[in-house]
Amino acid sequence: MRILVLGGDGYLGWPTALYLSRRGHDVGVVDNFARRQYDHEMGVDSLVPISSMQRRVRTWNEVSGLTVDAFVGDLTDPVFVQDVLRRFEPEAVVHFAEQRSAPYSMIDRQHAVYTQVNNVVGTLNLLYAIADFDPSIHLVKLGTMGEYGTPNIDIEEGFIEVAHKGRTDLLPYPKQPGSFYHLSKVHDSHNIMFACRIWGLRATDLNQGIVYGQETDETAQHPDLATRFDYDGVFGTVLNRFCVQAVVGHPLTVYGSGGQTRGMLDIRDTLACVELAATNPPGVGEYRVFNQFTESFSVQQLAEMVVDAFPGSATIDHVEPPRVEKQDHYYRAAHTKLLDLGLVPHLLQAATLRSMLAVVDRFRDRVDAEAILPTVDWRRTQSTLPTAGTSVVA
């Protein structure tokens, strides 16, 4: 297939592009380098050094003997979006190109507004471009399990049958997002579903859990092909943060009681899920949802697993939670549709954690210990307006 990967310079977009290329697809990557700009703004960096997108693409094309095309532009520019579709003529578009950090979206008013404008407007431009250029293009959109929140009932895959006053209907599952970032994903889901209904588009919403891991078969072929490893308090994921804390001798910081439970999946499974979705498209006018995770763990369980896997001495501290969320809750979510398509998951084992710990140890000199602890408080609303001519987001 011809597959265009939006956000192809990012943590997941880059290894996804390489995986699809190696699997025989014609791949193009699109990025505006905003993720790299967030690092400059926050004063942090990926633990694992990453090359420029241009150098990455050049190295992959040389190492693999394959060709990945690169396009630089912003989805909030509708002219660029239409142009890149016309130039590449994709059969499927994999959409990773959004601001993906909940803490970043909760810094203040400016960052909340930026997150929603960037994410929602970019996706709207893409929907219009697909409808105008080629409605048969299959949109594979990265959503999040965070759209659902933590309801006291089982979470279904996108839709739930509701009985009310003697009548039943299959309706979108109720959403209880936990941040302005997660809200932007909910808005995306509604807009995509609406576009499918009125324009006959085809879309798959991948409600993804928390991804762990940094190396894939493709990224391991050359240092220039490495993808990100984020551990800071704004963009770092929980398992990355725990691994870094264990290696540098810092107590593992569990927020509150640690009962917060989330769906998790290995980075290699993310790549496989995207290809399964892309190569098994929905029908015309169909909007479908896959819950993309393989296992569920509480934060406390993850911390204990890292302590057990770490060859040295690691301890756990419980700190005041910066987020407004239930610390202990019911969590049971369906995730069978990708398994039905053939996903063979890599489950979280001690060997996987030891591999992640080894990556951290290799680059331990790059760890900024001050960047690990949370700095964004969900309860804070005060926001200083910028002066004329200044930029909020670098």
Residues marked active site are found at: 144, 181, 185
- To the nearest 10°, report the CA torsion of 13, 370, 210, 263: 180
Tokens at 278, concatenated: 């892309």
Q: What residue type is assigned to position 97 of the chain?
A: A
**Tokens, residue 362:** 């290799």
How many CB atoms are located within 10 Å of the residue 113 CB?
Answer: 14
Amino acid at 99: Q
CA distance 342 to 145: 21
Name the strands in the sheet holding 138-144, side by side, starting at the edge strand that comes first in the sequence.
68-72, 26-31, 2-6, 92-95, 138-144, 202-208, 287-292
Residue 38's closest CA among 84, 103, 131?
A: 103
Q: Give the C-alpha separation, 47 to 50, whole Å.
A: 9
